[in-house]
Protein backbone atom coordinates (compact mmCIF):
# COMPACT_ATOMS: atom_id res chain seq x y z
CA UNK A 1 0.00 0.00 0.00
CA UNK A 2 1.60 3.34 -1.01
CA UNK A 3 2.61 5.72 1.79
CA UNK A 4 0.51 8.45 0.15
CA UNK A 5 -2.66 6.38 0.79
CA UNK A 6 -1.88 6.12 4.50
CA UNK A 7 -1.57 9.92 4.68
CA UNK A 8 -4.70 10.62 2.69
CA UNK A 9 -6.99 7.97 4.11
CA UNK A 10 -6.09 7.30 7.75
CA UNK A 11 -9.62 6.05 8.52
CA UNK A 12 -9.36 3.43 5.78
CA UNK A 13 -6.00 2.25 7.05
CA UNK A 14 -7.17 2.17 10.68
CA UNK A 15 -10.12 -0.07 9.83
CA UNK A 16 -7.93 -2.31 7.67
CA UNK A 17 -5.34 -2.78 10.41
CA UNK A 18 -7.98 -3.37 13.09
CA UNK A 19 -9.66 -6.11 11.07
CA UNK A 20 -6.34 -7.67 10.17
CA UNK A 21 -5.48 -7.93 13.87
CA UNK A 22 -8.91 -9.36 14.68
CA UNK A 23 -8.56 -12.05 12.01
CA UNK A 24 -5.41 -13.29 13.71
CA UNK A 25 -7.38 -14.20 16.84
CA UNK A 26 -8.68 -17.76 16.83
CA UNK A 27 -11.61 -19.26 18.72
CA UNK A 28 -11.25 -20.73 22.22
CA UNK A 29 -12.97 -23.96 23.20
CA UNK A 30 -13.73 -25.93 26.35
CA UNK A 31 -15.31 -29.39 26.35
CA UNK A 32 -16.10 -31.23 29.59
CA UNK A 33 -16.20 -35.06 29.69
CA UNK A 34 -19.51 -34.69 31.56
CA UNK A 35 -21.16 -33.50 28.35
CA UNK A 36 -20.83 -36.88 26.69
CA UNK A 37 -22.35 -38.51 29.77
CA UNK A 38 -25.46 -36.35 29.62
CA UNK A 39 -28.41 -38.61 28.85
CA UNK A 40 -30.85 -35.88 27.81
CA UNK A 41 -29.99 -34.33 24.42
CA UNK A 42 -32.48 -31.47 24.79
CA UNK A 43 -31.00 -27.97 24.90
CA UNK A 44 -32.73 -24.80 26.03
CA UNK A 45 -31.21 -21.99 23.97
CA UNK A 46 -31.68 -18.97 26.21
CA UNK A 47 -32.00 -15.36 25.00
CA UNK A 48 -28.58 -14.10 23.96
CA UNK A 49 -26.85 -11.06 25.38
CA UNK A 50 -26.00 -8.44 22.78
CA UNK A 51 -22.82 -6.34 22.86
CA UNK A 52 -23.37 -4.99 19.34
CA UNK A 53 -25.36 -1.94 18.24
CA UNK A 54 -27.69 -4.01 16.06
CA UNK A 55 -30.88 -4.73 17.99
CA UNK A 56 -31.71 -7.74 15.80
CA UNK A 57 -28.35 -9.47 16.34
CA UNK A 58 -29.25 -11.44 19.47
CA UNK A 59 -32.35 -13.05 17.94
CA UNK A 60 -30.55 -13.86 14.68
CA UNK A 61 -27.56 -15.49 16.36
CA UNK A 62 -29.78 -17.34 18.83
CA UNK A 63 -31.77 -18.89 16.00
CA UNK A 64 -28.60 -19.91 14.15
CA UNK A 65 -27.17 -21.48 17.30
CA UNK A 66 -30.37 -23.46 17.83
CA UNK A 67 -30.09 -24.77 14.27
CA UNK A 68 -26.45 -25.65 14.93
CA UNK A 69 -27.39 -27.84 17.90
CA UNK A 70 -29.88 -29.76 15.75
CA UNK A 71 -27.22 -30.40 13.10
CA UNK A 72 -25.07 -32.00 15.80
CA UNK A 73 -27.77 -34.38 16.97
CA UNK A 74 -29.28 -32.40 19.82
CA UNK A 75 -32.84 -31.13 20.04
CA UNK A 76 -33.73 -27.66 21.23
CA UNK A 77 -36.81 -26.50 23.06
CA UNK A 78 -38.99 -24.17 21.02
CA UNK A 79 -37.62 -20.66 21.46
CA UNK A 80 -41.09 -19.21 22.02
CA UNK A 81 -41.71 -21.78 24.76
CA UNK A 82 -38.40 -20.92 26.42
CA UNK A 83 -39.23 -17.20 26.34
CA UNK A 84 -42.70 -17.76 27.77
CA UNK A 85 -41.40 -19.79 30.72
CA UNK A 86 -38.53 -17.38 31.37
CA UNK A 87 -40.99 -14.51 31.59
CA UNK A 88 -42.32 -16.20 34.73
CA UNK A 89 -38.87 -15.64 36.25
CA UNK A 90 -38.87 -12.01 35.17
CA UNK A 91 -36.42 -12.63 32.30
CA UNK A 92 -37.02 -11.06 28.92
CA UNK A 93 -33.48 -10.58 27.61
CA UNK A 94 -30.07 -12.20 27.83
CA UNK A 95 -28.53 -9.54 30.03
CA UNK A 96 -30.82 -10.58 32.91
CA UNK A 97 -29.73 -14.24 32.97
CA UNK A 98 -26.66 -13.86 35.24
CA UNK A 99 -29.00 -12.77 38.03
CA UNK A 100 -30.80 -16.13 38.07
CA UNK A 101 -29.27 -19.45 39.11
CA UNK A 102 -29.00 -22.12 36.37
CA UNK A 103 -30.84 -24.53 38.67
CA UNK A 104 -33.85 -22.23 38.79
CA UNK A 105 -33.81 -21.76 35.03
CA UNK A 106 -33.53 -25.49 34.42
CA UNK A 107 -36.41 -26.18 36.79
CA UNK A 108 -38.63 -23.63 35.03
CA UNK A 109 -37.80 -25.02 31.59
CA UNK A 110 -37.67 -28.71 32.46
CA UNK A 111 -34.25 -29.10 30.81
CA UNK A 112 -30.73 -29.61 32.11
CA UNK A 113 -28.66 -28.30 29.18
CA UNK A 114 -28.79 -24.51 29.04
CA UNK A 115 -27.15 -22.56 26.22
CA UNK A 116 -26.04 -19.03 27.02
CA UNK A 117 -24.85 -16.78 24.21
CA UNK A 118 -23.10 -13.44 23.86
CA UNK A 119 -23.08 -11.58 20.54
CA UNK A 120 -19.73 -9.81 20.68
CA UNK A 121 -19.90 -8.16 17.27
CA UNK A 122 -22.47 -7.65 14.52
CA UNK A 123 -21.27 -4.92 12.19
CA UNK A 124 -22.02 -3.86 8.61
CA UNK A 125 -19.75 -0.90 7.86
CA UNK A 126 -19.99 0.68 4.42
CA UNK A 127 -17.53 3.56 4.11
CA UNK A 128 -17.15 3.49 0.35
CA UNK A 129 -13.44 2.75 0.24
CA UNK A 130 -13.86 0.10 2.95
CA UNK A 131 -16.72 -2.38 3.31
CA UNK A 132 -16.49 -4.41 6.51
CA UNK A 133 -18.89 -7.12 7.65
CA UNK A 134 -18.26 -8.86 10.93
CA UNK A 135 -20.14 -11.14 13.32
CA UNK A 136 -18.75 -12.74 16.48
CA UNK A 137 -20.45 -15.08 18.93
CA UNK A 138 -19.52 -16.81 22.17
CA UNK A 139 -21.67 -19.66 23.49
CA UNK A 140 -21.64 -21.58 26.74
CA UNK A 141 -23.48 -24.81 27.56
CA UNK A 142 -24.20 -25.20 31.26
CA UNK A 143 -25.69 -28.08 33.26
CA UNK A 144 -28.59 -26.67 35.27
CA UNK A 145 -28.32 -29.45 37.87
CA UNK A 146 -24.61 -29.04 38.63
CA UNK A 147 -23.81 -25.53 37.38
CA UNK A 148 -20.85 -26.94 35.47
CA UNK A 149 -19.86 -25.41 32.14
CA UNK A 150 -19.92 -28.37 29.77
CA UNK A 151 -18.94 -26.56 26.60
CA UNK A 152 -17.71 -23.13 25.65
CA UNK A 153 -16.73 -21.88 22.22
CA UNK A 154 -16.40 -18.72 20.18
CA UNK A 155 -16.52 -18.03 16.48
CA UNK A 156 -16.50 -15.17 14.04
CA UNK A 157 -17.31 -14.49 10.42
CA UNK A 158 -15.68 -11.59 8.59
CA UNK A 159 -15.58 -10.05 5.15
CA UNK A 160 -13.37 -7.07 4.34
CA UNK A 161 -13.04 -5.28 1.03
CA UNK A 162 -10.80 -2.26 0.48
CA UNK A 163 -11.06 -0.18 -2.70
CA UNK A 164 -8.33 2.19 -3.84
CA UNK A 165 -10.06 3.36 -7.01
CA UNK A 166 -12.60 6.15 -6.53
CA UNK A 167 -15.05 4.83 -9.13
CA UNK A 168 -14.86 1.27 -7.77
CA UNK A 169 -15.41 2.56 -4.25
CA UNK A 170 -18.46 4.56 -5.35
CA UNK A 171 -19.96 1.55 -7.15
CA UNK A 172 -19.26 -0.69 -4.13
CA UNK A 173 -20.92 1.81 -1.79
CA UNK A 174 -24.14 1.79 -3.84
CA UNK A 175 -24.06 -1.99 -4.27
CA UNK A 176 -23.64 -2.63 -0.55
CA UNK A 177 -26.47 -0.25 0.29
CA UNK A 178 -28.70 -2.43 -1.89
CA UNK A 179 -27.34 -5.62 -0.32
CA UNK A 180 -28.05 -4.34 3.18
CA UNK A 181 -31.56 -3.25 2.19
CA UNK A 182 -32.43 -6.66 0.75
CA UNK A 183 -30.98 -8.51 3.74
CA UNK A 184 -32.94 -6.34 6.15
CA UNK A 185 -36.15 -6.97 4.21
CA UNK A 186 -35.51 -10.72 4.32
CA UNK A 187 -34.41 -10.44 7.96
CA UNK A 188 -31.05 -12.01 7.14
CA UNK A 189 -28.49 -9.25 7.81
CA UNK A 190 -24.87 -10.42 7.61
CA UNK A 191 -26.14 -13.84 6.54
CA UNK A 192 -22.81 -15.43 5.60
CA UNK A 193 -20.86 -13.85 8.44
CA UNK A 194 -23.49 -14.72 11.06
CA UNK A 195 -23.73 -18.32 9.87
CA UNK A 196 -19.93 -18.66 9.95
CA UNK A 197 -19.74 -17.27 13.49
CA UNK A 198 -22.43 -19.64 14.78
CA UNK A 199 -20.90 -22.66 13.03
CA UNK A 200 -17.41 -21.94 14.39
CA UNK A 201 -18.70 -21.31 17.91
CA UNK A 202 -20.17 -24.84 17.96
CA UNK A 203 -17.40 -26.44 15.91
CA UNK A 204 -15.99 -28.56 18.78
CA UNK A 205 -19.35 -29.53 20.26
CA UNK A 206 -19.45 -33.37 20.49
CA UNK A 207 -22.08 -34.89 18.22
CA UNK A 208 -24.84 -37.04 19.70
- How many C-beta atoms surround the C-beta of residue 80 within 10 A? 8
% of the chain beyond a pLDDT of 70 = 71
Instruction: Give the separation between CA 17 and CA 133, rounded to whole angstroms.
Output: 14
Using alpha carbons only, give the angle 9, 15, 17 rounded to the nearest 5 degrees.
100
Average pLDDT of the residues in 180-201: 75
Q: With helix as H, strand as E and coil as C, how does the chain read?
A: CCHHHHHHCHHHHHHHHHHHHHHCCCCCEEECHHHHHCCCCEEEECCCEECCCCCCHHHHHHHHHHHHHHHCCCEECCHHHHHHHHHCCCCCCHHHHHHCCHHHHHHHHCCCEEEEEEEEEEEEEECCCEEEEEEEEEEEEEECCCCCEEEEEEEEEEEEEECCCHHHHHHHHHHHHHHHHHHHHCCCCCHHHHHHHHHHHCCCCCCC
Instruction: Give the separation between CA 12 and CA 191, rounded to whole angstroms.
Output: 24
Average pLDDT of the residues in 20-41: 72
Residue 124 banded pLDDT, cuts 50, 70, 90: confident
Instruction: Give the separation between CA 106 and CA 194, rounded to whole angstroms.
Output: 28
Greater confidence (111 vs 131) lies with 111
What is the model's pLDDT at position 10?
Answer: 42
Residue 39 banded pLDDT, cuts 50, 70, 90: confident
Strand partners, 133: 124, 159
Instruction: Give the separation between CA 41 and CA 130, rounded to whole angstroms.
Output: 44
Using one digit for the tens of pLDDT, what is the confidence trace for 14-30? 333 334 333 434 467 99
Instruction: Give the separation between CA 121 and CA 84, rounded to whole angstroms.
Output: 27
What is the model's pLDDT at position 177?
Answer: 53
Residue 97 pLDDT > 70: yes
**Considering the chain, what is the average pLDDT of its residues?**
81
In the chain, the domains with their CATH numbers are 3-201 (3.40.50.10610)
**φ and ψ at 144, to 5 degrees?**
-65, -35
Amino acid sequence: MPLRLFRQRPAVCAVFLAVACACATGGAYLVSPSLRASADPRVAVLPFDNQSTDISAADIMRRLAAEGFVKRGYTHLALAEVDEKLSGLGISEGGQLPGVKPADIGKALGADLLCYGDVEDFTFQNLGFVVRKSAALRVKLVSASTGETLYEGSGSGKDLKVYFNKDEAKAAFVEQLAVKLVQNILKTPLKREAEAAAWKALDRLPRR
